[in-house]
Amino acid sequence: MAKNICLTRIENLLSKSSIKGTKQEEIVGFIKDAMAEKKLSSLDEINVDKISKEVSEQIKLQKKINKRNALENEIKVRKYTEYVLREFPDDPQEGLISIMVGSNARVAASRASVSVQQNATVNQLIAGFNTKLRLAKVDQFFDKGLEGIDEIETQRRTVNTIAELSAQKTAIEENAGLKPPITETNPTIIKIAEIMEEYSEMVRQKLNDRGANIPRIWGYIVKQSHDPYTVRDAAKVLGLKLNEIEVDANLTVKQDINYARNYKAWKDFVSQKLDADRTFANTDNVDEFLQQVYSTLVGNKYQLSEGIASAYGSRAKDVAKGSAPKRILHFKSSNDWFDYNQKFGAGNLKESFFSGLQTAGRNIGMLDTLGTKPKENFLRILETVHKRQTDSGKESTTTKVYRPFDKYMKIIDGSIYTVEGFGLAKYSAIARSIQSMAKLGGATISAMADVGIYGSELNYQGRSYLGGMFEALGSLFKIKNTKQKKEIAEMLGFISDNTIYDMSARNQVGDNLSKGWTRTQRTFFKYNLLSWWTNTLKEGSMLGLANYFAKQKNLEFGKLNFKLQNLFKLYDVDATKWDIIRKTAMEQADDGKEFINIGLLDQMSDADVKKIRGTDNLTQRQIRIEKEKFKTSVSGILLDRSIYAVIEPDARVKGFMTQGALAGTGPGEAIRFFGQFKAFPISIVMKVLGRDMDYFKGRNVGDTGRGIRGLSALIVTSGLLGYLSMTIKDFLRGKGRRDPTKFKTIMAAFLQGGGLGIYGDVLFKETRDAGSVLAGLAGPIPLTVVDVGLAFKYALTGEGGKTAKAAHRAVSSSIPFLNLFYVKQAFDYMIGYQIMETVNPGGLRRVEQRMKREYNQEFLFTKPSTQFKGF
């Protein structure tokens, strides 16, 4: 980019002045930004004195913010250091882990972790936005076309209106005189645009309150939207032929030729859309800048939650780095951004907006807990804990070594979802997605064990085990709650899975998938009813807990039952906080039941906030932050307990299962293949059993008895529900019940109830050798690989029957949607049994004999062996 002559003159003058080093860079950097934002080509067009004053004020403000951030970071470091040494004196490593991803230890604030705060913040942001749409009666139009206007055109006009509204507000703030007009005439589009722009501004202010210093950017939230898959396949997305794209040789030094060609296609497209003056204001090497942006997007690194350094548009970095290029793409117009988003965004306008809310929410959760420099602050806490232990003469059970904690930090800062080798990560994720859609057709029936786990969680909260099971069944039989209850649930923080979550995460740690594969997978989990099952139970558990809290509203903290007091302590809720909750946040539903309504905590007084902090010396900014943190933390209790009641992997389980290994690396893909379908049983072990095993540490009188009763009830109900689940699945396959007195039946029931139902067929299947069983335990893809390998082996040795059998097994078990519980049986009777008998003559008869021998079980109707003889 050509150097501006006026800027060169300014730089020369500064070099001869008493202003040295960093400060010169700051002044020039801020002037470049100011010129770009005001669309000026030379300093002659502006009042230099005015700009210089503004620059000076910006530098002073930034220094003030940096000092404030440093002070607040120091407070957080000291607070968490004392917390670990006080609550985990014998196991500080567990205390350090609890800060990031929570612990089952029944000590104060052990579940008030970064991850819980992040999840609650994201859900509260989305819930608040949905509420605004609903109150304005435009929620049904948000992501759909209006009457007479198609979906794409509706979204484009909404985006243009957002830009015009932002321009109006900027003009008002700068006293620019005449306001730019709003050209849109459709009132619904205007209303949606107003809500989106106001909400974007609210989120930007939340980040600024926490030290980010982000200037006004139109469409702040929605513009944080990129799809790494479409960016990496830019040529295909743009309808270009890869082999016809010519690239410079220097682009292929570190990447393959196709990477370079896709980069060239993306760069040529986006360069036409960008406001070059603003985007490249602080860089002299445009191509290097865009290469770094492209690498960030392809590696999915733009969604990191690393404090203010990763906040989109943030100026609040070290002053010495104030003039460093900010990797932000500024578009010429809203139409140019929309064109880009259509090709390379995370989805339609709704999906892009929610994606931006997720990124912002995770960062706010991180800022509220570990501060503006989270990793640096955690390392300081780690080192201080180690030093304090050593100085006090204790043998440190933790060390200054960061490695054991890295896997958890990668979960909360989002770096675990970045990609190293794009091709390997992409096709591995697709392979796992195919296996999910081929193997999880009966997952909803296997999830019958959820009812027992649900009951055990309610018992842990201080309610009845059986009452919890009946509550779960009541939620399922009710089909859906009233509109008002659903609104209350949303305000609690409940957001339906498949809206922003990957449903497959119940059984595996989710992959980053392209938009197409994500939508296909969402459709599958809708058709196999797992979305309905999980959403219904989670919504029921949150409403049930909110109702349980409401029933205790007349009791002071000290008079609550023992288990509920313990539950509150896990989330750092004390007598003061409970008093505020019970007097402020109660609402009666249309059926007369009372619930906590998190939204009502917005009405808490400044005096209440000061009581929570234990000080009267709070600024309005601090009061806003504390109020938001308290509201989110209460929502976090309900959200966190909902994924104990309806088991899902939390951040700790994800850290354990990935071990910090990134997608696209050899270790990362190996561990993801091995971990497929194991997230559910591992979550049961780490969360449910881990929760109840903590009783055996004897922290309180009677804990051992509580632990024995809890585990015993869980084991018995899991076995019974596992047997029920098996019986239902067998019935759908046309089989009678298995003899409950047979050892293999009992083992299968406990495996099913313990979350290993997916592996039941592998572990007990006919003619499986030890190698196949081990491959099955390693994961579905290794098992399929074994079957394919056997097919080739038998083909080479001329064993046609065995070849056909192995090939049939590999293919039939890898067809997406075929395993849906209401499709599989129809397929088998129409053609499946015929194929099976063709490739494996006598196989059906052997299956029937084995069923009789091992389970004393028979087909309910005609035996398949008498009806199907092969083709």
The whole-angstrom separation of Cα 333 and Cα 223 is 12
pLDDT > 50? residue 766: no
Percent of the chain past pLDDT 90, that is, above it, reads 41
For helices 374-391 and 48-87, what crossing angle results, to 10°?
40
The pLDDT value recorded for residue 62 is: 80
> How many Å apart are CA 385 and CA 85, to the nearest integer?
7
- 67 exposure class (CB count in 10 Å sphere: 0-12, 13-18, 19+): exposed
Local confidence band at 323 (pLDDT 50, 70, 90 cut-offs)? very low
- Residue 238 neighbours by CB under 8 Å, 6+ apart: 265, 269, 343
Question: Which of 661, 670, 103, 85 is closest to 403 using CA atoms?
Answer: 661
What is the rounded (10 degree) CA torsion for 156, 159, 164, 166? -170
Phi and psi, residue 330, nearest 5°: -100, 125
pLDDT above 70: percentage of residues in the chain: 85
The pLDDT, as a whole number, for residue 202 is 95
Q: Output the pTM of the full model.
A: 0.88
Instruction: Give alpha helix (H) positions in 733-832.
Output: 743-751, 760-764, 770-778, 780-796, 800-812, 821-827
Hey, what are 680's tokens?
A: 């559910």
pLDDT tens sequence across 389-418: 888 887 766 677 888 999 999 999 999 999
Asked whether the predicted pLDDT for residue 346 surpasses 90, the reply is: no
Q: What is the 3-state secondary structure (H, E, C) of 107-135?
A: CCCCCCCHHHHHHHHHHHHHHHHHHHHHH
Amino acid letter, residue 412: I
pLDDT at position 761, please?
45
Domain ranges of the chain: 445-647+680-704, 765-871
Region of residue 102 (phi > 0: left; psi between -120 and 50: alpha; otherwise: beta): left
Which of 341-350, 576-585, 755-764 has the weakest average pLDDT? 755-764
DSSP letter (8 states) at residue 311: S
CB–CB of 721/452 below 8 Å? yes
Among the residue ranges 33-37, 376-380, 531-535, 684-688, the one predicted with the least confidence is: 33-37
pLDDT at residue 772 greater than cutoff 70: no
Checking if the pLDDT of 9 tops 80, the result is no
- pLDDT greater than 80 at residue 30: no
The amino acid present at 127, given as its one-letter code, is A
Angle between helices 651-658 and 666-675 (to 10 degrees): 120
**pLDDT mean across residues, the chain:** 85
Question: According to the model, what pLDDT value does residue 769 have?
Answer: 54
Q: Is the dihedral of CA 827, 828, 830, 831 positive or negative?
A: positive
The pLDDT, as a whole number, for residue 487 is 82
Q: Is the pLDDT of residue 479 over 80?
A: no
User: In whole angstroms, what is the distance from residue 585 CA to residue 596 CA?
Assistant: 5
- Given a cut of 70, is residue 421 above it in pLDDT? yes
If DSSP states are collapsed to H, E and C, what string results for 699-742?
A: CCCCHHHHHHHHHHHHHHHHHHHHHHHHHHHHHHCCECCCCCCC
pLDDT for 319 equals 40
The C-alpha atoms of residue 845 and residue 822 are separated, in whole angstroms, by 24
Contact indicator for 859, 736 with CB cutoff of 8 Å? yes
- Distance CA(867)–CA(693), nearest Å, equals 52
User: 643-680 pLDDT, tens per residue?
Assistant: 999 999 999 999 999 999 999 999 999 999 988 888 88
- pLDDT greater than 50 at residue 78: yes
Using alpha carbons, list the distances in angstroms from residue 799 to 40, 791, 841.
79, 9, 14
pLDDT confidence of residue 406? 95
Look at residue 274 and give its three-state secondary structure: strand
* 632-643 mean pLDDT: 96
Vertex 480: Cα angle to 475 and 482 (nearest 5): 110
The three-state DSSP-derived secondary structure of 689-710 is: HHHHHHHHHCCCCCHHHHHHHH
Summarize the confidence of residues 181-193 as an average pLDDT: 93
- Give the pLDDT mean for 854-871: 85
Which ranges of 392-514 would DSSP assign to H, the alpha helix?
403-412, 422-439, 443-446, 449-461, 465-478, 483-492
Predicted confidence (pLDDT) per residue in 538-595, tens digit = 999 999 999 999 999 999 999 999 999 999 999 999 999 999 999 999 988 888 889 9
pLDDT given for residue 181 in this prediction: 87
**Cα distance between the two ends of the chain:** 72
Q: Are strands 594-596 and 586-588 parallel, antiparallel or unpaired?
A: antiparallel
User: Is residue 414 a contact partner of residue 305, using CB atoms and an 8 Å limit?
Assistant: yes
Q: What are the strands, taking DSSP E only, across 188-273?
A: none
Please state the rounded mean pLDDT for residues 361-375. 95
Question: Quick one: pLDDT band at residue 787, thresholds 50, 70, 90?
Answer: confident
Residue type, 614: G
Vertex 721 angle, CA 718 and 722, to 5°: 80
Beta bridge partners of 594: 588
**339 token code pair:** 């064109």
What CA–CA distance (Å, rounded) separates 683 from 490? 25
Q: What is the structure's pLDDT at 32?
A: 64
Beta-bridge mates of residue 331: 274
Residue-wise pLDDT tens digits, 329-340: 889 999 999 999
Cα distances from 472 to residues 340, 483, 538, 643, 645, in angstroms, run 45, 19, 9, 14, 9
Distances in Å between the Cα of 690 and the Cα atoms of 107, 656, 693, 718 are: 14, 14, 5, 16
For residue range 581-601, what is the model confidence (pLDDT) as tens digits?
999 999 888 888 899 989 899
- Tokens 């007369």 locate to 592
CA distance 17 to 161: 46
- Beta carbons within 10 angstroms of residue 602's beta carbon: 12
Place of tokens 């989106």: 196
Q: What is the pLDDT of residue 775?
A: 59
- Residue 795: its pLDDT value, please? 85
User: How far does Cα 503 stand from its chain's mean position?
Assistant: 11
Residue 338: its H or E element: helix 334-344
Residue 148 confidence (pLDDT): 76
871 Cβ neighbours under 8 A, 6+ residues apart:
834, 835, 838
Q: DSSP code of 859? A: B
CB 869 within 8 A of CB 833: no
For residue 105, pLDDT over 60 is answered with yes
Helix (H, G, I), strand (E, B) or coil at 357: helix
Query: For residues 608 and 54, which has the higher predicted lDDT (pLDDT)?
Result: 608
Distance CA(502)–CA(511), nearest Å, equals 8
Query: For the chain, how big is the Rg over CA atoms in Å?
Result: 30
